[in-house]
Structure 1
Amino acid sequence: MHLDFIRSNTKPAPVPFVPEVMLFQAEEPIALWEKTEEAGPEQPPPFWAFAWAGGQALARHLLDNPDLISGRSVLDLATGSGLVAVAAALVGGSPVTANDIDPFSLAATAANALENGVKVDTVEDDLLDSAPEQQVILAGDVFYSREMAVRVLPYLRRAAYGGALVLVGDPGRAYLPTGLIKRAEYEVPVIEALEGVATRTTTVWQVTSS
């Protein structure tokens, strides 16, 4: 059911800032957003149907710097479309796990991994109270709300304390924490109907243990 909905409402196309990756993306973003809202309040927004700025920047950074993760275990937290997970797998991350609480997200991730010829494992669960296990933790656009930021930052810091490389991509969302290490900055094309602008300055940050 989830995969049928994705294939009926999106089409594979290159990601604007990461053309090496094909994603199933919505051609009419507002129409799809409204369609999921009509399904009821229990239905999460279709974050999986778009290439958000933070994920695009993080994927670009991985593809340009494969030595960061090649041969290392990877978790893409709150994966959305699976863009970052796919990029990690393309440059040799192994195994690569994509996590989200939305089953549509994980179905989209599986479809996108298949489209790009890579293997990505998926986990449908809230991992934020668990102990991070992977050598690399990746997260794009996770600081969009106070509630999410309060929960995700301690998880990322625990991962860094345990020795993981923790990278986040963020286009200046309201709840981005301070004290992060800047690794790269990009001008990323975005969907103007959703973001209100055509591009966003987006930064890849490294999270440390404190």
Structure 2
Amino acid sequence: MYFLTDDLVFPPVESANVEGLLAVGGDLSPERLLLAYQNGIFPWFDNDSIILWWCPDPRMVLYPNEIKISKSMKKVIRNKQFSLTKNTCFEQILEYCSTVPREGQNGTWITDEMKIAYLKLHEKGIAKSYEVWENDNLVGGLYGIDLGHVFCGESMFSLTSNASKFAFIKLAEELGQKGYKVIDCQLHTNHLASMGAKEIPRKEFMALLK
């Protein structure tokens, strides 16, 4: 197991264990977080744990032009049920992502320490949010790290059906138009797979990052 020091350095991602755990310790400074994401590494831990850094193999990703939009979602979009804003209430999105219950998941990995770290990245224009509104009410959204050619999705939430799907679709469409290579979804979920995300070898993902 690799223990991080105060030095801004990570071990080679190939040294991660079978589960994808690469290193422990360190801090959540904006500089270390940005270095991590630029090298395919992300933090994931809970309040009772030391900071854990991951780089799993395979990696769940979505190529923006491969987004799958179901018939029901096409109808939702057509009917203009939702509207979208970007980076207008990042802190609210962060708070909802950390508190809205998810099926099969107890607690949250978005600790107070993580919130402070991502707010600092947002102030630097690196962490971004997509907000979904229905009748002037915030009902869903997502946030992630924007590397300029790869968007690292971190978390999403819905207070009403289809709101987070709407945010994810709009993200994919916009990034596709801008020529982004991929959206990093990190780990497999059936929900993401149903929207077109798929697992690729870590080596392939790292090549996209570089």
Larger radius of gyration: 2
Query: Which bracket does the TM-score occupy, shorter chain normalised?
Result: 0.3 to 0.5
TM-score, normalising length: structure 2: 0.32
TM-score, normalising length: structure 1: 0.32
Bigger RCO (CA 8 Å, 6+ sep): 2
